[in-house]
Amino acid sequence: STSPSPRPNMPVRYFIMKSSNLQNIAISQQKGIWSTTPSNEQKLNRAFWESSMVYLIFSVQGSGHFQGFAKMSSEAGCEKSQDWGSAAFGGVFKVEWIRKESIPFQFAQHLLNPWNDNKKVQ
Domains in the chain, CATH or no CATH each? 12-120 (3.10.590.10)
Q: Mean of the per-residue pLDDT values for the chain?
A: 84
pLDDT band at 105 (very low <50, low <70, confident <90, very high): confident
pLDDT score of 10 more than 90: no
Identify the pLDDT of residue 37. 87
**Strands 93-99, 68-72: parallel, antiparallel or unpaired by DSSP?**
antiparallel
CA neighbor of 57 nearest in space, from 110, 102, 88: 102
pLDDT score of 81 more than 50: yes
Give percent of the chain with pLDDT exceeding 90: 45
pLDDT score of 25 more than 90: yes
Average pLDDT (37-43) is 89
Strands (E) located in 35-110: 53-60, 65-66, 68-72, 93-99, 103-104
Q: Are 59 and 67 in contact (CB under 8 A)?
A: yes
pLDDT score of 113 more than 80: no
pLDDT digit string, tens, across residues 60-79: 998 888 899 999 999 988 88
Q: Are 7 and 48 in contact (CB under 8 A)?
A: no
